[in-house]
Structure 1
């Protein structure tokens, strides 16, 4: 199969595209022919060798955990899927090596969910990690009707999902972003707040004395401190960045996990128009290094997707 991979850690320059052996499908596995694979910050952090303690990796590495495509084959124990089914998946395994930026990927059933016909592969490739992260963060602090939620980095891949999902649950949402993303946040249902020094005062001025009841941090550092200062109940502050800082203050930490039911829920919301996926850019497999560089800038909104 044709795949993107690297044989050493380093910058995007180490990425190459070539032939690798096809994956072997085990009894509980589904073999997916990949149409699109999302690119997430964790992909280039692993590639640079930053996350060896968290994710043991084995060279050569095919990057990527997000996938959308069609079922090519199923193991003998699989009854949930059949050849030709459209699927999307968050294919995070215990060890990093056989990722999704390839023509074929092996996935356990628990990594996958059915993809409705109305959702294109490029859009679906941007759903799994970011969508699940947002949903699990909101559930960790029980966001619901009547809440006022502060979402940090609200215009990013995870943030845009968090804003929309919180709004759909009946919450008032304030989202931090640059001034250039203010209109985008409004289109998602959030009230934009410029990030940076003075954030707490800007939030309080906007709310006119009303409390922030929950906060979702996607940045770390000062954003976590600001969240604790603004939210009365520290257990309703959640981060996906710095668990030690959040837990020390009485908050919560979420490390996204595969969840087939939640992934299916997200896909259905996209299919019925309740959830918008902002695709920042699509790249051919041959241009995977450019896709990684785009993600590494950290300034774009929405998702970067590689088509295969």
Structure 2
């Protein structure tokens, strides 16, 4: 038997439980991976709470999780590009990565670079491909000014660096506590607050919203072309303004994931880790994430003992 996170109804963290299950069996085009680390993401909170039922309905009992990294343990008969023992990272479309084992199609995996640690590998997919798609959506060019809200969060912390690497001048909206970190990655910090608009540059070419809470409206009010505004969270505001909503679905590609893994492995992008929790502390992990004050990602480790508690990065 193995462990897997399950919930039977929409609700807060109390609906989550760890269940003993049979390890899944791969179909012909699938691979069984023993999970070492798996990231958690804000969208999973909204799905579990039922806030995205119309867009992403849950079928009960539901599993949870997309991000993961681990070791190949078995393969279907038609899989030829991987071997048992390979170290990989990837994603599940079936809300199933918060578990000891996960089965996914072979094209949902890429090899883990030797220089990339398990924790960052396991927390990369959702934040990484979402950031990649969001930056690609607004098409920043060298010398242009790009503003990113939620700039120290899981997606924002990667988006600011991807835009910076394209040669853009990047302004990151975050709390004052994250100013030093943003400067360390070549981003100009601006603290959110009532005078935010006055604190931003007079000329802004593109705006990436990773936080919601009125930032799309702010961007429109600043005169930014809606075609160069992208939000990953405020879909109603985007529909009203004609802004873009490209995120993880637009970036879900193994080649993109491999590119991001290499960028992080060799230090061209930094993926900050806020904390690591054992799988059995799933409720505590999501409680911290729900506060929306983390810098970077919170990741689950199946290799930590159940009583290990929160491990600070």
TM range (shorter): over 0.9
The equivalent of 1:238 in structure 2 is 230
Deviations 1:89-123, CA, capped at 9 Å, x for gaps: 12224xx5xx1011100111232221101111111
Alignment partner of 1:129 out of 122, 126, 131: 126
Describe how 1:84-233 pairs up with structure 2 within 5 A. 84-93=85-94, 96=95, 99-204=96-201, 209=202, 211-233=203-225
2:205, 2:239 → 1: CA distance? 18
Q: Structure 1 stretch 129-138 or stretch 294-303: which is displaced more?
A: 294-303
Q: Is the 8 A contact 1:215 1:231 kept in 2?
A: no
With over 3 angstroms needed to count, the CA separation of the structure-2 counterparts of 1:53 and 1:247, relative to structure 1, is: closer
Deviations 1:56-95, CA, capped at 9 Å, x for gaps: 32222221110011111111122221111111112224xx
Instruction: Give unpaired runs (5+ residues) of structure 2.
Output: 303-313
SS at match of 1:33: strand
Could you list the structure 1 runs, at least 4 aligned residues long, displaced by more than 3 angstroms after superposition: none
2:210, 2:223 → 1: CA distance? 16
The equivalent of 2:36 in structure 1 is 35
Q: Is the 8 A contact 1:214 1:231 kept in 2?
A: no
2:139, 2:106 → 1: CA distance? 28
The equivalent of 1:58 in structure 2 is 59
1:70, 1:265 → 2: CA distance? 20
With over 3 angstroms needed to count, the CA separation of the structure-2 counterparts of 1:115 and 1:141, relative to structure 1, is: same
The equivalent of 2:306 in structure 1 is none
SS at match of 2:59: strand
SS at match of 1:51: coil
The equivalent of 1:271 in structure 2 is 265
* Structure 1 residue 189: Cα displacement: 1.3
* Structure 1 residue 248: Cα displacement: 2.8
Q: Is the 8 A contact 1:17 1:286 kept in 2?
A: yes
Describe how 1:8-19 pairs up with structure 2 within 5 A. 8-19=9-20
* Structure 1 residue 183: Cα displacement: 0.7
TM-score (structure 2 length as normaliser) = 0.91
SS at match of 1:291: helix
* Structure 1 residue 37: Cα displacement: 0.6
What's the RMSD between the two structures over aligned residues?
1.5
TM-score (structure 1 length as normaliser) = 0.93
Aligned length: 299
Q: Is the 8 A contact 2:67 2:91 kept in 1?
A: yes
